[in-house]
């Protein structure tokens, strides 16, 4: 079976590379994939097919909600929205029980789709596994979007797992959009509200922002970390349905 022959037929990769191991005793899954899905309709559908894969693999093994830990795509310089769509779909898969996502946005290289720093990614996965799979109680998650608030010409992103949030320099790579969903570059800053770290953003051309997103461009230069040095990954406050309707 050639790499570009029958391998891309539906079910071929599963039957050839996963099915032979179904039934083996395992603790959970580690998954790092998505680069090939950033183009065309595959990027839009990733929010549907990735959770379906997780649920199907769990069904195949018949061991309930087995831990499924994965890596959000690292930064890489490629045009279009596909990279952002895939990364945000990966973030949304955290809604499934016993999942964990290692953010790799800060280890990517502009011109190398396969960044060599696997040690950082492996360490983050190991820390997540210590909590999801083995019950350790230390903070293991990256900052993640929890909700938004509207404050006149500004929009505030409320975050989970964001204690001690700080940037590696200027707070950048944020965008805002009005009701039309057309995003523009925003000015953003970190603010602590009622003891919680938030990010507030605005843009002169958007009088009433409705949406906020971070790290949407495939290659991101500004990174935010919580007190445990876990980086924040790509997100958009648009719902999946709003993304699909564009």
Q: What pTM value is reported for the model?
A: 0.93
Q: What is the pLDDT of residue 1?
A: 36
- Could you tell me the pLDDT band of residue 3, with boundaries at 50, 70 and 90? low
Q: What is the pLDDT of residue 5?
A: 63
Pick from 181, 191, 131, 185: nearest CA to 158: 191
Tens of pLDDT, residues 67-116: 999 999 999 999 999 999 999 999 999 999 999 999 999 999 999 999 99
State in words which class domain 6-132 has: alpha beta
Tens of pLDDT, residues 26-55: 999 999 999 999 988 999 999 999 999 999
Domain ranges of the chain: 6-132, 144-244
* 144-244: CATH number: 2.60.40
Locus of tokens 């990769």: 13
Pick from 154, 201, 197: nearest CA to 175: 201
Fold equal for 6-132 and 144-244: no
């Amino acid at each position: 079976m050639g790499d570009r022959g029958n391998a891309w037929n539906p079910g071929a990769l599963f039957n050839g590379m996963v099915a032979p191991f179904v039934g083996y005793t395992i603790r959970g899954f580690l998954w790092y994939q998505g680069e090939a899905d950033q183009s065309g309709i595959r990027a839009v559908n990733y929010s549907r097919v990735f959770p379906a894969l997780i649920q199907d693999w769990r069904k195949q093994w018949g061991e309930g909600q087995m831990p499924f830990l994965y890596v959000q795509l690292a930064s890489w310089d490629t045009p279009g929205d596909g990279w952002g769509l895939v990364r945000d779909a990966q973030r949304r898969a955290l809604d499934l029980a016993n999942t964990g996502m290692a953010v790799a946005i800060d280890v990517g290289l502009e011109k190398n789709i396969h960044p060599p720093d696997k040690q950082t990614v492996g360490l983050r996965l190991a820390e997540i596994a210590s909590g999801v799979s083995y019950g350790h109680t230390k903070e293991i998650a990256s900052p993640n979007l929890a909700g938004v608030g509207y404050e006149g010409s500004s929009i505030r992103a409320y975050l989970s797992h964001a204690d001690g949030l700080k940037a590696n320099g200027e707070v950048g790579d944020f965008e805002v959009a009005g009701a039309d969903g057309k995003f523009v570059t925003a000015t953003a800053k970190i603010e602590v509200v009622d003891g919680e770290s938030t990010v507030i953003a605005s843009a002169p051309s958007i009088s009433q922002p409705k949406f906020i997103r971070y790290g949407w461009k495939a290659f991101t230069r500004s990174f935010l970390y919580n007190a445990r040095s876990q980086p924040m990954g790509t997100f958009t406050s648009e719902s999946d349905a709003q993304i699909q309707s564009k």
